[in-house]
Amino acid sequence: MKTIVGSRQSGRTTQAIKMSEQTGDIIVCASKSIADFTKRLAIDTGHKIPSPISYTEINCQKGKNVNFIFDNADSILQQIFFNKINCVTMQCESNELMKLNGGVV
């Protein structure tokens, strides 16, 4: 699993869009409005991607052979659990970690 780390406005979503275009993976967002924004950003920057979805729409993909890219996974976790998430640990090989400017690793 690749991990993209970066501060606000560092290009994480743009990288997710590029990855989605290359792989055909569906981008999962914290809300429908963010999914719509992500689709518009992809169109405006000339990228062809599958329509992004909100995390609440994942069950609609059940049984289909699809892969996902979670954009701002921390926001999605906060939406699911209705609380601030203070820390997340992940298994990640160093060659799968992309640090964008301003990000802390």
Do the Cβ atoms of 50 and 20 come closer than 8 Å?
A: yes
Total of domains in the chain: 1
Where residue 18 falls (left for φ over 0; alpha for ψ -120 to 50; beta otherwise) is alpha
According to DSSP, the residues that pair with 98 across neighbouring strands are 4
Which residues 6+ apart lie within 8 Å of 39 measured at CB? 49, 51, 52
| 58 assigned to some structural domain | yes
| 73 assigned to some structural domain | yes
pLDDT of residue 102: 55
Domain that holds residue 28: 11-92
Do the Cβ atoms of 42 and 49 come closer than 8 Å?
A: yes
| 6 assigned to some structural domain | no
Mean pLDDT of the chain: 88
| 59 assigned to some structural domain | yes
pLDDT of residue 6: 85
| Model confidence, pTM | 0.86
